[in-house]
A and B are shown apart, each in its own frame.
Chain A
Amino acid sequence: KQEVTQIPAALSVPEGENLVLNCSFTDSAIYNLQWFRQDPGKGLTSLLLIQSSQREQTSGRLNASLDKSSGRSTLYIAASQPGDSATYLCAVIGDYKLSFGAGTTVTVRA
């Protein structure tokens, strides 16, 4: 059974600092890995999708890396802003369904 872990559970940084969010998974037989953002009481917004054959994916200030062999992914958010405050979830797709981590709750202080 796939287990996904996100560390730390919570993170508070001053505005402008770079964010590093970690995700690890136990079974490397995955199709892809997806990072999401969730605001309180809302659904999930897809941020980045990394296919299993890729090593990284970039979108604006976001960069996600994937090391399938070691079962790790990292989401980097450059020059953080208060609007980046949210919970970030990573999910891996194995056979047909997503397995989620518990998320990292980020607070960016103005």
Chain B
Amino acid sequence: GAVVSQHPSRVICKSGTSVKIECRSLDFQATTMFWYRQFPKKSLMLMATSNEGSKATYEQGVEKDKFLINHASLTLSTLTVTSAHPEDSSFYICSARDLPVNTEAFFGQGTRLTVV
């Protein structure tokens, strides 16, 4: 299957600072990228969907000013958690997919964010 690389795998930051997470599709062009958050023993919660060159679409309840998403190219999307607080500590996973809409989705390795 296709490879989606997510970096970093783990990050610890101080409260009030910002953290950037990168998601790259290594061997295909990702028309659409998705960002998820996963709580312990819970399912994945979709945070936002991004298409290359356009603004991200955020799910209801997700603060777009806190979770900045940029999809600058067909192979790279970034999620920046701004002014992080301990409640933002979580496991974040990106997913990438090409058109058409019924193609297989591939996921990154995830990023464990801990805000202290």
Contact = CB atoms under 8 A, between A and B. Distances in A.
Interface centre among B4, B93, B104 (most CB of A within 10 A): B104
Label chain B's interface by main secondary structure.
strand
Interface in A17-53: 31-32, 34, 36, 41-46, 49, 51-52
B102 A98 contact: no
Given A41-B112, A51-B102, A93-B101, A100 B107 contact: no
Contacts, number: 57
Contacts of A91: 105
Contacts of A97: 34, 46, 49
A43 B43 contact: no
Interface residues of B, number: 24
Interface in B58-112: 91, 93, 95, 101-102, 104-110, 112
B32 A43 contact: no
Contact of B102 (A42, A43, A52): A52
